[in-house]
Structure 1
Amino acid sequence: MIHPPAADPVLLREPRHRVSPRARLMWQVTALVEGAVTIGVLLLVALAVDAVEVRWWMIAVAVAAVLGWVAVVPQWRYAVHRWEVTATAVRTQTGWWAREQRIAPLSRIQTVDRAEGAVARLFGLATVTVTTASAAGALEIDGLDRRLADDLVAELTARADAVEGDAT
Structure 2
Amino acid sequence: MTTQPTDGPPPTLREPANQVSPRAVSYWRLTAGIGALVTWLALAIGYAVLPQRPWWVTLLLVLVVGATIVHLVLMPRIRFRVHRWEVTPTAVHTRAGWLSREERIAPLSRVQTVDSAQGALMRAFGLMSITVTTASAAGPLTIACLDSVTARAVVAELTEITGSHEGDAT
TM-score above 0.5: yes
User: Matched residues in 2 for 1:120 and 1:5: separation?
Assistant: 48
Q: Which residue of 2 aligns with 1:40?
A: 41
Q: Which residue of 2 aligns with 1:143?
A: 145
Query: How many residue pairs were aligned?
Result: 167
Q: Which residue of 1 aligns with 2:87?
A: 85
- 1:66 Cα offset (Å): 2.0
User: Matched residues in 2 for 1:163 and 1:25: separation?
Assistant: 38
State the TM-score, normalized to the length of structure 2.
0.87
Q: Call closer, same or farther: CA 1:13–1:51 in 2, change over 3 Å.
A: farther
User: Could you tell which deviates more after superposition, 93-102 or 62-71?
Assistant: 62-71
Superposed CA offset, 1:21-67 (max 9, x none): 11011100010110111111222234345464798876655443322
Superposed CA offset, 1:55-92 (max 9, x none): 88766554433222111011000110000011100000
User: Matched residues in 1 for 2:54 and 2:123: separation?
Assistant: 40
Q: Which residue of 2 aligns with 1:15?
A: 16
Q: Is 1:116–2:142 an aligned residue pair?
A: no
The residue type equivalent to 2:132 in the other structure is V
The residue type equivalent to 1:132 in the other structure is T
Q: Is 1:25–2:30 an aligned residue pair?
A: no
* Percent identity of paired positions between Structure 1 and Structure 2: 47
RMSD after superposition: 2.5
Residue ranges of structure 2 left out of the alignment (5+ in a row): none
Residue ranges of structure 1 left out of the alignment (5+ in a row): none
Q: What are the equivalent positions in structure 2 for 1:53-132 lying under 5 Å apart?
A: 61-132=63-134
Query: Partner of 1:167: helix, strand, or coil?
Result: coil
